Amino acid sequence: MTEYEHVDEDVRAITEDSELPQRLREQVYETVDDRGGVTAEQADEIVQAVESRYLDTRVDPLDPVGTVSAQSIGEPGTQMTMNTFHYAGVAEIDVTQGLPRLIELVDARKTPDTPMMTVHLEDEYAVDRERAHEVVWSIEATKILALGDVSTNVADMLVQIDLNEGTLLERWPTIDDVEEIAARIAETIEDALGVETRRTGTVIEFGPSEPSYRELLQLVEELREVVFKGIEDISRVVIRKEQLDDGEEEFVLYTEGSAFGDVLEIEGVDASRTTCNNIHEIYRNLGVEAAREAIINETMDTLEEQGLDDVNVRHLMLVSDIMTNRGTIESIGRHGISGSKESVLARAAFEVTVNHLLDAAIHGERDRLDGVIENVIVGKPVSIGTGDVDLRMGSFSPTQPSD
Amino acid sequence: MVDVSQHKLVPEHILLDDPEEIEEVLEEYNVSKTNLPKIRTKDSALPEGAEPGDVVKIVRESRTTDRAVVYRLVIE
């Protein structure tokens, strides 16, 4: 508990006695402290006022929170741009934003349109540019064109690779011997393409087993796709220096493409802060609770990016809670939440009405008429708010004593 | 293997092994065990030794209060 200079025991006792949550109590202390202390009576009044405002903001019993959330996200959603494909504040990495991103999130797509990761580094990797680059090379997929020149010799039916020594030493910082690196590259080519290679220094040659012009070209095509180092799914890594809250600076990597599980295992990567924008990868590696957090973060960021940051997080928390309620990520829509509702009429009201009614009839389903839509359909009061409360009006005159 | 519980997105998961404690929770919220949100047995953040039918207590650093306590039933 933080100590405040001007908050005495009386004020503390009064505040602790209220129904306020800890965070609001702390705010009361801070404000009182800034004003240089108050008397017990004043404190009592302040706390009562804060408490009544707090109780007002709480959801009433039987309030349709889902409907309110839908409206509260839906209305600002109409102001979002349909197709923003610009480079988000971070580095030069292209990220889907706005409405398409929001739809992608609530649809729980298996892979986002533009997967990316934010990789934080630990210890000396975070402060030393050289060490940070080591991590970059073990993440970014290195293909042959980055390592040297590839030429085709049609006369001898050969593919020739002239490796660049400087690049090799830069990308394999743990090995000092160029020959050894070149030998490894040759080996990777043999494994990937199933050909025999000849190597002299940093020049690698190979060709098809039978002289064939078409096969030669095919080999070159395949060679371009071979990954020599790094993770195949990650096409680009951008390194950026960022300021931390405490004023220190550190290097942070942004990647195009994501392979969350693989990256967490790499040495130098801080596995406690690294994240990615694919909620399914988060779910697979960190579990359902982390996925819940990720959905809230991603939806909130998407809205904030569009200047719609006055949407209350509680709405997004509700959406996220529903999506992760059954232990996995479910989408909101036909294949997810709306499609697996218990009530036949509710499902029929959502999409493909006839199919649902037909299936229900074949299987002899019953509808308990608990939900909102079902009761709207049959013309009964919905069990929400005052619709769920039975009131009976009686009459008696105040002059006569009631019995 | 990476220690999942150290990640900042993962809240604290505690296995409730005392049946009485589970009873208390269910009574407080007036629900049956199956009404609780679920967590799968193959979930990476699940504490060791959790079996289907167990209840896990999760303590989140909440955005709206200081700490939010929720419960999930282990399934499958």
Mean pLDDT, to the nearest integer, of A72-95?
Answer: 72
Q: Choose among B7, B46, B66: nearest Cβ to A271.
A: B7
Please check whether residues A134 and A238 belong to one and the same domain: yes
Instruction: Identify the band that residue A87 occupies on the pLDDT scale cut at 50, 70 and 90.
Output: low
**What is the least distance, in Å, from the CA of B37 to any CA of chain A?**
5
Distances (CA, A) of A207 to A228, A334, B41: 19, 53, 51
With beta carbons less than 8 A apart as the criterion, state whether A264 and A231 touch. Answer: no
Q: Does the structure show a pLDDT above 70 at A89?
A: no
With beta carbons less than 8 A apart as the criterion, state whether A63 and A226 touch. Answer: no
Please check whether residues A35 and A75 belong to one and the same domain: no
Q: Please tell me which residue of chain B has the smallest CA distance to A323.
A: B37
With beta carbons less than 8 A apart as the criterion, state whether A272 and B8 touch. Answer: yes
How far apart are alpha carbons A173 and A175 in whole angstroms?
6
A8 close contact with B: CB closer than 8 A: no
**What is the least distance, in Å, from the CA of B43 to any CA of chain A?**
5
ipTM of the complex: 0.94
CA contacts within 13 A on the Cβ side of B55: 21
How far apart are alpha carbons A312 and A303 in whole angstroms?
11
Residue recorded with tokens 């059954």? A326
Q: Looking at residue A401, what is its pLDDT? A: 57
CA terminus-to-terminus distance, chain A: 55
Mean pLDDT, to the nearest integer, of A335-358?
Answer: 86
Please check whether residues A47 and A184 belong to one and the same domain: no
Q: Looking at residue A2, what is its pLDDT? A: 67
Q: Mutate which of B15, B36, B43 to disrupt the A interface (most A C-beta within 10 Å)?
A: B43
Q: Looking at residue A283, what is its pLDDT? A: 94
Interchain proximity B63–A317, CB inside 8 Å: yes
Question: For the CA atoms of chain B, what is the radius of gyration?
Answer: 13
Interchain proximity A289–B60, CB inside 8 Å: yes
Q: Does the structure show a pLDDT above 60 at A90?
A: no
Interchain proximity B8–A272, CB inside 8 Å: yes
The CATH number assigned to the domain holding A352 equals 1.10.150.390
Which carries the bigger pLDDT value, residue A94 or residue A92? A94
How far apart are alpha carbons A249 and A128 in whole angstroms?
10
Q: Which residues of chain B from 14 to 73 reach within 8 Å of chain A, CB to CB? A: 37-40, 43-46, 58, 60, 63-66, 72
Q: Mutate which of A265, A284, A289, A321 to disrupt the B interface (most B C-beta within 10 Å)?
A: A289
A325 close contact with B: CB closer than 8 A: yes
Please check whether residues A17 and A165 belong to one and the same domain: no
Please check whether residues A46 and A85 belong to one and the same domain: no
Mean pLDDT, to the nearest integer, of B40-50?
Answer: 89
Q: Does the structure show a pLDDT above 90 at A79?
A: no
Mean pLDDT, to the nearest integer, of A81-94?
Answer: 61
Mean predicted lDDT score pLDDT of chain A: 85
Q: Closest Cα partner for A285 from A298, A274, A269, A297?
A: A274
Q: Looking at residue A179, what is its pLDDT? A: 81
Please check whether residues A281 and A261 belong to one and the same domain: no
Q: Does the structure show a pLDDT above 60 at A88?
A: no
3-state helix, strand, coil split of chain B in percent (to 5) is 20, 30, 45
CA terminus-to-terminus distance, chain B: 23
Q: Looking at A179-183, A345-349, A361-365, B68-72, which range is the least confident one?
A: A179-183
Q: Looking at residue A400, what is its pLDDT? A: 61
Q: Looking at residue A281, what is its pLDDT? A: 93
Selecting from 3.40.640.10, 3.30.70.20, 3.90.940.20, 2.102.10.10, what CATH number does the domain B4-75 have?
3.90.940.20
Please check whether residues A193 and A316 belong to one and the same domain: no
A226 close contact with B: CB closer than 8 A: no
Q: Looking at residue A218, what is its pLDDT? A: 83
**3-state class (DSSP) for residue B6:** helix
Mean pLDDT, to the nearest integer, of A189-212?
Answer: 80
B9 contacts on A by Cβ (under 8 Å):
275, 282, 286, 289-290, 293-294
Mean pLDDT, to the nearest integer, of A344-368?
Answer: 90
> Over the stretch A14-67, which tens digit does the pLDDT of each residue have?
888 888 887 888 888 888 888 877 788 888 888 889 999 988 888 888 899 999
> Over the stretch A252-273, which tens digit does the pLDDT of each residue have?
889 988 889 888 888 888 888 9
Q: Looking at residue B48, what is its pLDDT? A: 87
Q: Return the number of other C-beta atoms located less than 10 Å from residue B44's C-beta.
A: 20
A130 found inside a domain = yes
Q: Looking at A164-178, A335-349, B9-23, which range is the least confident one?
A: A164-178
Instruction: Identify the band that residue A195 occupies on the pLDDT scale cut at 50, 70 and 90.
Output: confident
With beta carbons less than 8 A apart as the criterion, state whether A204 and A161 touch. Answer: yes
Please check whether residues A119 and A266 belong to one and the same domain: yes
A280 contacts on B by Cβ (under 8 Å):
none
A1 found inside a domain = no
Mean pLDDT, to the nearest integer, of A293-314?
Answer: 90
Range of the domain at A47: 9-57
**What is the least distance, in Å, from the CA of B10 to any CA of chain A?**
5
How far apart are alpha carbons B53 and B45 in whole angstroms?
17
Interchain proximity B45–A21, CB inside 8 Å: no
Please check whether residues A30 and A46 belong to one and the same domain: yes
Interchain proximity B37–A22, CB inside 8 Å: no
Angle (nearest 5°) at CA A298 between A293 and A300: 95
Give A173-177 contacts, CB < 8 A, sequence gap 24+: A173/A130, A173/A133, A173/A134, A173/A137, A174/A134
Residue recorded with tokens 């306020």? A20
Mean pLDDT, to the nearest integer, of A297-316?
Answer: 90
How far apart are alpha carbons B58 and B14 in whole angstroms?
6
Q: Mutate which of B3, B5, B7, B60 to disrupt the A interface (most A C-beta within 10 Å)?
A: B7
Q: Does the structure show a pLDDT above 90 at A174?
A: no
Question: What percent of chain A clears pLDDT 70, i.e. is strictly above it?
Answer: 96
Domain count, chain A: 5
Q: Closest Cα partner for A126 from A338, A303, A272, A21?
A: A272
Q: Which two tokens stand for residue A176?
A: 């000092």
> Over the stretch A201-257, which tens digit does the pLDDT of each residue have?
778 888 777 778 888 888 888 888 888 888 888 888 888 888 888 878 888 889 988
Please check whether residues A266 and A125 belong to one and the same domain: yes
A311 contacts on B by Cβ (under 8 Å):
none
Please check whether residues A150 and A18 belong to one and the same domain: no
Q: Which two tokens stand for residue A300?
A: 């909130």
With beta carbons less than 8 A apart as the criterion, state whether A13 and A26 touch. Answer: no
How far apart are alpha carbons A16 and A21 in whole angstroms?
9
A244 found inside a domain = yes
Q: Looking at residue A333, what is its pLDDT? A: 80
With beta carbons less than 8 A apart as the criterion, state whether A230 and A137 touch. Answer: yes
